[in-house]
């Protein structure tokens, strides 16, 4: 699903209005009807008090139009106009008139107004600011937002939590509504998924307001939201007349005394994601644990007992995954540099191999084209330098990825894969994954997918999705706290199978036989 910028949404509006021969107010009406239907389906006419807080732009207009539908269906509601400016939008005014025609009189809130009483079990509709916010809200509006947040009442935000911008981070973190649910028009906004702003959005859903399909399809976006529909076309089914050679030979290089587990996890993950063959390259101390815990993998050993000191092997890997549990000893650093001088094939770089790249930036130029780098936030910072906010982080990452022609996997609650100027925002995963070894498992999975012929970008996007999906399936059985990395691997099979599941169709009501 595409993630549009604010200017693209405004353009889509304009295009839709022209092409469908409708007025902009009709688009607002569609938005309001969609929100009303969503609420009506859940509330079924319940007399719960609804407090609508409406700004004076089109987001406020949506709220005012919604109030009209609530009145028509006998709901218990009250409308407040948050009068933060005298530049009221045309469609806001039109809907305000329509509401007044129905004898509904909103309360106008100004800088000196007292805020209304709100019960814990009531509902707040937040239609104060939408995607048109372009400066910090006035102090009294920030106070109102704080007041609403502190009521503990369920907050339903229209389009976006008021106070959030679409393309930047709010200057004042207090001046944002904390939404329990956001009903966003046509497409999610990038800020729903970023660490600094995602906390303002507990849950979200898309409402289709019928923006022009041709515009939506043909417009290229800087970000995409990756769900099942997006990964299904990537999936390569297995062929009947295939053999283990068809699915590649992965070489996992890493490990040091006390950190052999990282290589075991990555190798296991690589096998479970479908790599035909897996060889692990480890210091001598890693041989026995690998052979006993993972008989499917082959093992090559370094001359050194405890660390990697020279990487040489007599096989031709389809892909190399390097860095898990590797440590940054001098001999290892030299071995890694020598390896990069020689190796020009598919490469996945993780953990301490990333840190070695950060410490010796000259090595970056030696990375084979389209190498995949899988940093967590600290490793990313070491690679690209500090950032002032999430947007700058993304811009710097894009630049870095272009400069070194590499795919960057920014790990986080919503992992974002960056390549060729586009960010692919993952939809799966859960807080249980914040556990030791889950990164090794991801790197192993992506390596395994590359081995099977997935292109580096596809392998990264698909691997991140499946890794999160496996964890989502696993927590159904073990809960967040007990989700260890091994359990993620053990649910890869179910994650793959979930791709082929067809959503259950509603059954026709059974007809009783006489």
How far apart CA 453 and CA 447 sit, in angstroms, is: 10
Residue 55 partner contact from K ion, ligand LP7C6HRI, none using kind-dependent CB cut-offs of 5 to 8 Å:
ligand LP7C6HRI
The full 3-state SS of 423-456, as one line of letters, equals: EEEECCCCHHHCCCCHHHHHHHHHHHHHHCCCCH
For ligand LP7C6HRI, the binding residue among 84, 165, 192, 193 (CB under 6 A) is 84
* Residue 126 interacts with ligand LP7C6HRI (CB under 6 A): yes or no: no
Query: Going along 259-369, which residue ranges are E strands?
Result: 277-282, 298-301, 319-322, 346-349
- Output the CA torsion 80→82→83→89 (10° steps): -90
Burial of residue 502 (CB within 10 Å: 0-12, 13-18, 19+) is exposed
Alpha-carbon torsion 439, 443, 444, 449, what sign?
Answer: positive
On whether 440 is known to bind a ligand per the annotation, the reply is yes
Q: Does 186 contact ligand LP7C6HRI by CB under 6 A?
A: yes
57 is in an annotated binding site: no
Site for ligand LP7C6HRI contains 8 (CB under 6 A): no
- What is the closest distance, in whole angstroms, from the C-beta atom of residue 213 to ligand LP7C6HRI in the complex? 13
Which burial class, exposed, middle or buried, applies to 330 when counting CB atoms under 10 A from its CB (0-12, 13-18, 19+)?
exposed
* 91 marked as part of a ligand binding site: no
103: number of Cβ within 10 Å: 7
Binding status of residue 176 toward ligand LP7C6HRI by CB under 6 A: no
Q: Residue 405: phi, psi to the nearest 5? A: 45, 55
Is residue 198 within the footprint of ligand LP7C6HRI (CB under 6 A)? no
Continuous H helices in 274-327:
287-293
Q: Which of 34, 83, 89, 435 binds ligand LP7C6HRI (CB under 6 A)?
A: 89
The answer to the question of whether 131 is labelled as a binding residue is yes
Q: Is residue 328 a known part of a binding site?
A: no
For residue 359, the tally of other CB atoms under 10 A from its CB is 12
Nearer to ligand LP7C6HRI, 133 or 270 (CB): 133
**Could you tell which of K ion, ligand LP7C6HRI, none binds residue 412, using a CB distance below 5 to 8 A set by kind?**
none
Site string for ligand LP7C6HRI, 209-248 (x = CB under 6 A): --x-------------------------------------
Instruction: Please identify, using beta-carbon distances, which residue of 208 and 402 lies nearer to ligand LP7C6HRI.
Output: 208
* Nearest CB to ligand LP7C6HRI, comparing residues 85 and 403: 85
Q: Which is nearer to ligand LP7C6HRI, 24 or 498 (CB)?
A: 24
Residue 133 contact among K ion, ligand LP7C6HRI, none, beta carbon within 5 to 8 Å by kind: ligand LP7C6HRI
Contact (Cβ atoms closer than 8 angstroms) between residue 220 and residue 421: no
- Check whether 133 is labelled as a binding-site residue: yes
Give the DSSP letter string of 294-309.
-TTSEEEE-SSSSS--
Strand 50-54 to 77-82 pairing: parallel
165 contacts ligand LP7C6HRI (rule: CB under 6 A): no
Q: Does 55 bind ligand LP7C6HRI (CB under 6 A)?
A: yes
95 part of the interface to K ion, by CB under 5 A: no
Rounded-to-integer distance, Cα 130 and Cα 157, Å: 9
161 touching ligand LP7C6HRI, by CB under 6 A: no
Angle between helices 260-272 and 438-451 (to 10 degrees): 40
CA dihedral over 347, 348, 350, 355, signed as positive or negative? positive
28 binds ligand LP7C6HRI (CB under 6 A): yes
Instruction: Using CB under 6 A, pick the residue from 3, 126, 159, 372 that binds ligand LP7C6HRI.
Output: 159
With binding defined as CB under 6 A, does residue 132 bind ligand LP7C6HRI? yes
Say if residue 60 carries a ligand binding annotation: yes
3-class SS letters over 29-92: HHHHHHHHHHHHHHHCCCCCCEEEEECCCHHHHHHHHHHHHHHHCCCCEEEEEECCCCCCCHHH
Rounded to whole angstroms, how far apart are CA atoms 42 and 406? 46
Report in angstroms the alpha-carbon separations of 463 from 216, 264, 278, 467, 471: 27, 18, 17, 6, 12
Among 70, 75, 130, 286, binds ligand LP7C6HRI (CB under 6 A): 130
List the single partner that 437 binds among ligand LP7C6HRI, K ion, none, CB under 5 to 8 Å by kind. Answer: none
Q: Which residues pair with 54 in a beta bridge?
A: 81, 127
Which residues of this protein are in contact with K ion, per CB under 5 A?
A: 126, 157-158, 162
> Which parts of this chain interact with ligand LP7C6HRI (CB under 6 A)?
9, 13, 27-28, 31, 55, 57-62, 84-85, 89, 129-137, 158-159, 185-186, 211
Where is the binding site for (6S)-NADPHX, in residues? 58-62, 130-136, 159, 262, 323, 376, 440
Pick out the residues of the known binding site: 58-62, 126, 130-136, 159, 162, 262, 323, 376, 411-415, 439-440
């Amino acid at each position: 699903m595409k993630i549009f910028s604010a200017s693209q949404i405004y353009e889509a509006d304009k295009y839709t209005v022209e092409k469908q021969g409708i007025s902009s107010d009709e688009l607002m009406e569609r938005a309001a009807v969609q929100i009303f239907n969503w609420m009506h389906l859940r509330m079924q006419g319940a007399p719960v008090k609804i407090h609508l807080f409406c700004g004076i732009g089109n987001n406020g207009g949506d709220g005012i139009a919604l109030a009209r539908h609530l009145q028509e269906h006998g709901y218990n509601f009250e409308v407040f106009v948050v009068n933060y400016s005298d530049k009221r939008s045309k469609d806001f005014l039109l809907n305000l008139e329509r509401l007044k025609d129905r004898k509904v009189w909103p309360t106008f809130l100004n800088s000196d107004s007292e805020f209304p009483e709100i019960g814990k079990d009531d509902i707040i509709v937040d239609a104060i600011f939408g995607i048109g916010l372009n400066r910090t809200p006035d102090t009294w509006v920030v106070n109102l937002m704080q007041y609403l947040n502190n009521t503990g009442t369920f907050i339903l935000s229209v389009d976006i939590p008021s106070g959030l911008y679409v393309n930047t981070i709010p200057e004042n973190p207090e001046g944002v509504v904390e939404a329990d649910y956001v009903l966003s028009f046509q497409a999610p906004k990038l800020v729903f998924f970023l660490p600094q702003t995602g906390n303002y959005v507990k849950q979200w859903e898309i409402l289709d307001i019928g923006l022009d399909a041709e515009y939506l399809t043909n417009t290229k976006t800087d970000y995409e939201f990756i769900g099942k529909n997006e990964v299904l076309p990537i999936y390569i089914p297995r062929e009947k007349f295939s053999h283990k050679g068809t699915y590649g030979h992965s070489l996992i290089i890493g490990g040091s005394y006390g950190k052999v587990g990282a290589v075991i996890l990555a190798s296991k993950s690589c096998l479970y994601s479908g790599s035909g063959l897996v060889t692990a390259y480890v210091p001598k101390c890693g041989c026995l644990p690998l052979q006993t815990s993972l008989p499917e993998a082959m093992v090559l050993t370094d001359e050194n007992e405890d660390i990697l000191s020279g990487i040489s092997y007599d096989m031709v890997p389809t892909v190399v995954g390097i860095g898990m549990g590797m440590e940054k000893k001098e001999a290892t650093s030299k071995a890694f540099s020598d390896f990069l001088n020689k190796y020009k094939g598919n490469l996945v770089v993780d953990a301490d191999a990333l840190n070695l790249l950060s410490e010796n930036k000259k090595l970056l130029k030696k990375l084979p084209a389209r190498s995949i780098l899988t940093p967590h936030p600290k490793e990313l910072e070491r690679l690209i330098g500090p950032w002032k906010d999430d947007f700058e982080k993304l811009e710097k990452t894009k630049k870095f990825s272009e400069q070194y022609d590499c795919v960057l996997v920014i790990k986080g609650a919503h992992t974002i894969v960056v390549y060729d100027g586009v960010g692919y925002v993952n939809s799966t995963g859960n807080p249980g994954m914040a556990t030791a070894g889950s990164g090794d498992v991801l790197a192993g999975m992506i390596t395994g997918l590359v081995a099977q012929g997935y292109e580096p970008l596809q392998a990264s996007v698909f691997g991140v999705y499946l890794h999160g999906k496996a964890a989502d399936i696993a927590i159904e059985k073990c809960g967040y706290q007990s989700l260890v990395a091994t359990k993620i691997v053990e649910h890869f099979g179910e994650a793959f199978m979930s791709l082929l599941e067809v959503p259950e169709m509603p059954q026709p009501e059974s007809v009783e036989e006489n």
